[in-house]
Amino acid sequence: MKKRKFLPGKTWVNIVCALVVVIVIALVYILGIRSVVEQSVVFNVTRGASVSDVAEQLQARGLIDSVPLFKIAVRGNGGAVQSGQYDIPRGTSVWRIASMFAHGNIATTTVVVPEGLTVQQIKELLLADESLTGGVECGIGTDLPVCNLHDGDLFPDTYRVARGTSRLALLDLMRKKMVEMEQNWERAGRVAPKPLKTWNDIVTLASIVQKETSKVSEMPIVASVYLNRLRDNMRLQADPTVVYALTHGLGDMRGAPLLRSHLKIDSPYNTYTNHGLPPAPIANVGVDAIHAVLSPADTNYLFFVADGRGGHKFARTYAEHTKNHADWRAIKKIQNEK
């Protein structure tokens, strides 16, 4: 009787190891390298969707070719998926898709809200941004802080948020940042230059400063002018307050000129006819304008006028201001002739 020949033990080990290596390489390729995504797409994972639901939707759109393999990849990344909007680039593997969904690597967008806009203008800006969703007004019966916004309530800034963020949610984020600014002021001891007393006073004057100049270096000087006028019981005579009154809070003349007759408009916001500050801010202000009011320049200026180069000329007396104003009219005439 012939004896059967068996492979040596080491040979079997080598074969098993080789098979394991092949299987691992195949899985790495199938899960981590191979892709059926032929072009970049946007995919929404809805809130509450199960892994099976997401896998079936991905397969239906041709982004994966195996539901079981996607589920394996999800398990390897923690076993769950997070809701949101995702950018899936061309050539993305199953493992990469599962990792994105598991770790919430959602698509983001940057929303820039400039300083000096009114609530109406900010809402118009957000409505024009197609990366955001929803409206800017609350539904009937909704009673939340974001539903009753006033100028001065929002903090202009650059916001990086998830694409598809609701416009109301972004407005509320801006509101909370301004609340944080007020809380920081309170923690610092509620110090304000006389005759200002309240946070509303600070933001109201800051809104005028914000509208008068875009030059950060000038803001403390402009703030000092208005503070000096308040202390001397002089009317502020700030054109932006008249614009605010004329436009019913929009804050933009839409290209129309501000006329001398406009300075007589009957409004508590008209600082040509009323002493003191307006009753509330006329715009939403940034940190530079707030700091300028809290730390104004030490001057005895009472007047300022444009200098024709993007800045202003400041004066201590009306006679000096009259001369500066004449210089500005001459510069403006030359600019108009050009």
* DSSP states of 66-90: -HHHHHHHHHTTTS----EEEEE-T
Q: Is residue 32's pLDDT more than 80? A: no
Confidence at residue 222, expressed as pLDDT on a 0 to 100 scale: 98
In order of 59, 61, 86, 100, 107, the CA distances from 83 in angstroms are 18, 18, 9, 11, 11
Q: Is residue 6's pLDDT more than 60? A: no
**pLDDT, average across residues 195-210:** 98
Q: How far is 242 from 180, CA to CA, in rounded Å?
A: 30
Domain layout of the chain by residue ranges: 33-103, 108-136+144-179, 199-337
Least confident of 3-12, 36-45, 145-154: 3-12
Orientation angle between helical segments 167-187 and 199-212, nearest 10 degrees: 120
Query: Strand 158-162 and strand 108-112: pairing?
Result: antiparallel
Q: Is residue 9's pLDDT more than 90? A: no
Confidence band for 139, pLDDT divided at 50, 70 and 90: confident
Q: Is residue 22's pLDDT more than 60? A: no
Task: Of 90, 93, 76, 96, give the one whose Cα is nearest residue 34.
Answer: 93
Query: Strand 84-88 and strand 108-112: pairing?
Result: unpaired
The overall average pLDDT reported for the chain is 90
Confidence at residue 326, expressed as pLDDT on a 0 to 100 scale: 87
Q: How far is 43 from 63, CA to CA, in rounded Å?
A: 10
Confidence at residue 2, expressed as pLDDT on a 0 to 100 scale: 56
Task: Of 22, 42, 38, give the one whose Cα is nearest residue 30.
Answer: 22
Q: Is residue 115's pLDDT more than 90? A: yes
Confidence band for 147, pLDDT divided at 50, 70 and 90: very high
Residue written as token pair 């308040």:
230
Confidence band for 23, pLDDT divided at 50, 70 and 90: low
Task: Of 19, 29, 31, 63, give the one whose Cα is nearest residue 44.
Answer: 63
Q: Is residue 61's pLDDT more than 70? A: yes
Confidence at residue 30, expressed as pLDDT on a 0 to 100 scale: 60
Q: How far is 291 from 260, CA to CA, in rounded Å?
A: 32
Q: pLDDT (tens digit, 9 = 90+) per residue, 288-305? A: 999 999 999 999 999 999
* Pure H helices in 188-264: 199-212, 219-231, 239-246
Q: Is residue 4's pLDDT more than 90? A: no
Q: pLDDT (tens digit, 9 = 90+) per residue, 228-261? A: 999 999 999 999 999 999 999 999 999 899 999 9
**pLDDT, average across residues 201-220:** 97
Query: Strand 41-45 and strand 84-88: pairing?
Result: antiparallel
Q: Is residue 12's pLDDT more than 70? A: no
Task: Of 317, 319, 289, 277, give the one whose Cα is nearest residue 301.
Answer: 317
Q: How far is 179 from 152, CA to CA, in rounded Å?
A: 10
Q: How far is 257 from 324, CA to CA, in rounded Å?
A: 21
Contacts 24+ apart (CB under 8 A), 122-127: 122/154, 122/156, 122/171, 122/174, 122/284, 123/167, 123/171, 126/167, 126/170, 126/171, 127/167
Confidence at residue 295, expressed as pLDDT on a 0 to 100 scale: 97
pTM above 0.85, yes or no: no
Fold classification of 33-103 is: Dna Ligase; domain 1 (3.30.1490)
Confidence at residue 13, expressed as pLDDT on a 0 to 100 scale: 65
Q: pLDDT (tens digit, 9 = 90+) per residue, 165-195? A: 999 999 999 999 999 999 999 999 999 999 9
